[in-house]
Structure 1
Amino acid sequence: MHHLLCGLAANPALPSELVDRLISLADDDLADDLACRPDLSRAQAVALVERVEESALRLAYEGRLTADDVDPAARPDAALALLDQGVGVSHPEWARLLATDPDPERREKLAACPVLPPDVVDTLAADPDVRVVAELALWTTAPDVAAGLAAHPHAEVRRAVAANEATPPAVLAALLTGEGLPPARQCLVCDREEIPFVHDPQCSRPDCDLPAGASCDGSHESTVHGTREAALRNPATPIEAAVAFADHPSMLLRWALATREDLPRRACARLASDPAPGIRADLAGNPALDETLIRALAEDPDPAVRRALAHHPRVPLDVLTRLATTAKVGATLLPRVAAASPAETEDLASSPDPAARMLVAHRRDLPPGVRDRLAEDPDAKVVKALAPHPGLTEAQLRAMAVRHGVRVLAKVATNPDATPALLDELTRHEPPVQKVFREIARHRAAPASALLACLADPRARPVAAAHPALPSAVITELLTDTDWQVAEAAATNPSLPVAVMSDLAWRRD
């Protein structure tokens, strides 16, 4: 019964008086579904909080509660959610109250909130719990605050500063080298363990939350390494300071450089020959690559590198066409193809290579002449890519299905202009294609006859149960389905009769 109530709570056609009824019955799960209703009134939101206090957090983030609805002393978590959305500008006293909350997790959440009063920032920066200070260091938008915390005695705070894009570039450079900063005196490892200590990656202690491989011999080496990695990934770190790490023995530090879009060519060339394929794969998508390096990486022995290169925004089309046949780029519109000029689009569509035609067939804004020509392509992969394109006629879609059969049927079923008659016909295809039923079950134009056929497929059944074109008698029957997911989906169906909704909401069992 509970899953049916959760389904009702998500039903967009549920009358307001039945929403009130569900609020009066709500537990945590039901409250979560009710809090997401776009038609929930302010009065209903307040009533839901009275029923399930934990719902205040979700309601605040959903915008269903205002500052006038929340007492920060009684409901600090809801107050934190509103502070996270900027209400601190008009209610600075909330932040001052929560800055001294005895729960360090609340102070930690507060530290991530925007627009905190300066005195609250000072309080959090001096918090005895390092997690609170680190959270402030990570999220503050004030460069002077970040700069000040870069000299914090705890290395964990410095690591957070290194990841913050508001940190001044000179400070980030200092965090990379350590020059100009006093040595850190603590880290999470030496806070808890007698040094020297290396955390066993297979640690079985249930109360241990140290990262795998965390270590400290007095120099806080694993946290310093993490600080450098964070700074290298930070786009605010001066590239002049970062490029020195292109030859660093640590693979993770070299890897952190690979996606930086301001990399000079020499660093790109160095990383293009890195022994770690993951580094080369990340570099392959970097816009900083020039054509020479792009062509070199196109010959990389690792398929993941070539696949990543196919997504590069400036990969030459001749290279991309080769990659399409060797790198398994997937059924997706690639950035370079999406940006192709009309002339390039025509060239791809007219190519003798089906891989090139397939690439451009994934576009959904093709000129009608190009679209129609590709609809008659002899290669099934090209037609499969094109089949969801809007503007195709029923005759064209039907011809695709006849010529290429099971290879294209599922994609034909996704076309937004597929007619009810065609969708109904696809459900009767022999041999049947199971994915067709799942696509039709979610198609807005699916007729009742096609949806009834979809109910016979186990994976399409819960999707079809929620489709508003399903006959109301069938929807009502599905409420007792042995699969609770099907029953819950039926309860979400807006075509469920109101009388049945009411019966469910007031049922006692």
Structure 2
Amino acid sequence: MHHVLCGLAANPSLPPDLVDRLIAVADADLAEALACRPGLSRAQVSALATGFEAAAVRLAQEGLVGADDVDPAVQPRAALALLEEGAGRPEWARLFAADAPVEHRERLAGCPGLPPDVALTLAADVEVGVVSELALWTTAPEVAARLARHPHTEVRRAVAANEATPPALLAALLSGEGLPAARCCPVCDRRTSPFVHDPHCPEPDCDLPPGAACDGSHESAVHRIHQAALGNPATPAAAAEPFADHASVLLRQELAARPDLSPQVYARLADDSVPWVRARLAENPAIGESLIRRLATDPGHDVRRRLAHHPSLPLDVLVHLAGVARTGPCLLPRLAAASPAEVEELAASPAVVRMLLAQRRNLPDDIRDALAHDPDAKVVKSVAPHPGLSDAQLRAMVERHGAQVVAGVAANPDTTPALLEHLARQRPPVRKALREIARHRHATAPALLICLTDHRARPLAAGHPHLPPRAIVELLADEDWQTVEAAAANPSLPATSMADLVP
């Protein structure tokens, strides 16, 4: 019954009086689901917000309750949600900073626009988690400068990850110059130094990462600070570039993703012995053509696969990579940006390139039609979902290539109801096609009833408004809870059935 009611809570056709009845019998989960409904009346919003804090949080996030509707002493999570949305009151922030559970202070520390006195109070908090959250989200340079000198490495790591941290401070976190040495880290908080954490630690409640170590210099924690700073786009390139020769693969791969390094550093990273580093470099939009061509012959399969997604590939390199890299069924950025002349050139390329080009959904009509009649089934499968194809063209695809293209045709937004029924009746059934049909706006009742026979298409079909009402009602007793919720949320569920379901 719980899943039925949660589905009803999301049903756009549920009459207002039944919404009221659901609110009257709601538990916390159902109230939160009801809070997500559009078009709630002021009285309904008030009833949900007053009776259920989780619902009040959701309504605060949606802007449906304000500061006048929430008492922070009674509903602290709702008050914090308003503070997170910038709609709370400054006195609430002071209240939480001075006297609140740790988890509330942590949430407060991540709120925007904190009054300066509240930020200072949180910066002096005894809980490292609270201070770290402030360090991660503060936009005040003076607060970041203070927290970069904090004795705990976790706070400094959060400062290093904060994109609002001043660049000079990020450079100092990388070099250590001008900052006092940290005095504690997650390792020496728990263990006596020197200590190296066993990657196969048998203690079930141990939360130290594998290989974490501290010999008094907090080496693994400092490494994490460096990693955070190298991944921060606000860190100056001059401070980051020396890490190109660092022994840590994690640091080098973080560096390889940066778009602001010199060509000389990119060239060094292209020679890296670890394919992971070269793969990160290959997808970096800042590398030039010479490096692109060099990486196109890289022996690492992941290097070539990621390079295929580079937005500035020369067309000849793209054609080469199409034949040697597995990119999956996606539109490559370079193909998405191809000019009309380039599209014509690519349409005359080998089948594997035509298949990738066919992923574009804004092809010129003549190119689209030519690909729809391509002799290669993979090309036709790729272009089949393209809008604008006629019913005759789609049927011809199925006649020529059968099951290989059925799912693609079923995904086409212009596929007619009659063709969807034909596709649903394929024998043996094409399971992926049934899932596409079950979510298609043109799907008919006969096609949807067939979709119910597939366990993955069944929940999708259960929520389709063209499913016959009798079938929807029967699905309310289904063994699968997702199917039950989808049926209960179906706008075609009869109003009498809705009324019978609400206690």
For normalisation by structure 1, the TM-score amounts to 0.96
Q: Choose from 176, 179, 190 the match for 2:177.
A: 179
8 Å CA contact retained: 2:53, 2:78: no
- 2:476 corresponds in structure 1 to 479
Please list the CA deviations of residues 209-259 of structure 1 after superposition, one character each: whole Å capped at 9, or x if unmatched. Answer: 333322211111111111111111111111111110001111111111011
The Cα of 1:83 is off from its aligned counterpart by 0.6
**2:53 touches 2:77 (CA, 8 Å); kept in 1?**
no
- 1:292 maps to which residue? 290
CA–CA distance in structure 1, aligned partners of residues 198 and 58 of structure 2: 38
**Could you tell me how far 1:312 is from its partner in structure 2?**
0.4
Shift in Å, 1:33: 1.7
**Match in the other structure for 1:130:** 128
Name the residue aligned to 2:218. 220
The equivalent residue for 1:468 is 465
C-alpha deviations, 1:20-48, integer Å up to 9, x for none? 11112222322232122122334323312
- Shift of residue 327, structure 1, vs aligned partner: 1.2
Alignment partner, residue 500 of structure 2: 503
Structure 1 CA distance, aligned partners of 2:182 and 2:411?
58
CA distance, structure 2, for counterparts of residue 345 and residue 67 of structure 1: 56
* 1:363 match: 360
Q: Is the 8 A contact 2:32 2:54 kept in 1?
A: no
CA contact (8 A) 2:372 2:393 kept: yes
- Matching residue of 2:281: 283
* Counterpart code for 1:128: V
What is the root-mean-square deviation in Å for CA atoms of aligned residues? 1.4
Q: CA deviation at 1:160?
A: 1.0
Distance 1:221 1:502, change over 3 A: same
Cα distance in 1 for partners of 2:195, 2:56 equals 43
How far apart are the structure 2 equivalents of 1:482 and 1:206? Answer: 35
CA deviations 1:50-108 (Å, max 9, x no partner) are 333333222222333222211112111111111111124xx211111111133111111
AA in 1 matched with 2:188: C
Alpha carbons 1:23, 1:51 under 8 Å: kept: no
Q: Deviations over 1:184-226 (max 9, x none)?
A: 1222222232211222333343443333322211111111111
Instruction: Show structure 2 runs of 5+ residues with no match.
Output: none
1:377 equivalenced with 2:374 (yes/no): yes
Partner of 2:144: 146
Residue 24 of structure 1 corresponds to 24
CA contact (8 A) 1:269 1:293 kept: yes
Q: Could you tell me which residue of structure 2 aligns to residue 488 of structure 1?
A: 485
Matches within 5 A, 1:170-209: 170-209=168-207
Secondary structure of residue in 1 paired with 2:155: helix
Q: Distance in 2 between matches of 1:199 and 1:23?
A: 51
Measured in 2, the distance between the counterparts of 1:162 and 1:388 equals: 45
Alignment of 1:231-246 (within 5 A): 231-246=229-244
TM-score of the pair, normalised by structure 2? 0.97
Residue 457 of structure 1 pairs with residue 416 of structure 2: no
Residue 75 (1) aligns with residue 75 (2): yes
How does 1:440-455 map onto structure 2 within 5 Å?
Answer: 440-455=437-452
1:87 equivalent in structure 2: 87
Q: Distance in 1 between matches of 2:179 and 2:319?
A: 51
Give the Å deviation of 1:316.
1.3
Instruction: Give the conservation status (yes or no) of the 8 Å contact 2:66–2:87.
Output: no
What amino acid maps onto 1:501 in structure 2? M
User: Is residue 349–residue 360 contact of structure 1 (8 Å, CA) maintained in 2?
Assistant: yes
The answer for the alignment partner of 1:52 in structure 2 is: 52
Secondary structure, aligned partner of 1:87? coil
Deviation at 1:396, TM superposition (A): 0.7
How big is the shift at 1:283? 0.9
**Kept after mapping to 1: 8 A contact 2:246/2:252:** yes
Change (3 A) 1:297 1:56: same
2: CA distance between counterparts of 1:493 and 1:272? Answer: 54
Residue matched to 1:388 = 385
1:414 paired to 2:387? no
- Cα deviation, residue 123, structure 1: 0.6
SS of the residue 2:59 aligns to? helix
For the 8 Å contact 1:42–1:65, the answer to whether it is kept is no
Q: Work out whether residues 465 and 492 of structure 2, in 8 Å CA contact, stay in contact via their aligned partners in 1.
A: yes
Are residues 1:434 and 2:431 paired? yes
Question: Contact conserved, 2:308 with 2:322, CA < 8 A, in 1?
Answer: yes
What is the CA–CA distance in structure 1 between the aligned matches of 2:455 and 2:160, rounded to whole Å? 50
- Aligned residue in 2 for 1:354: 351
Please name the residue that 1:248 is paired with.
246
Q: Which aligned runs of 4 or more in structure 1 are off by greater than 4 angstroms? A: none
Q: Partners in 1 of 2:481 and 2:179 — Cα distance? A: 60
The offset of 1:279, in angstroms, is 1.2
1:162 paired with 2:160, answer yes
Instruction: Answer whether contact 1:26 1:51 (CA < 8 A) is retained.
Output: no
1:99–1:301 CA distance, 2 compared to 1 (3 A): same
Summarize the alignment of residues 93-132 of structure 1 with structure 2, pairs less than 5 Å apart: 93-132=91-130
Structure 2 counterpart of 1:327, one-letter code = A
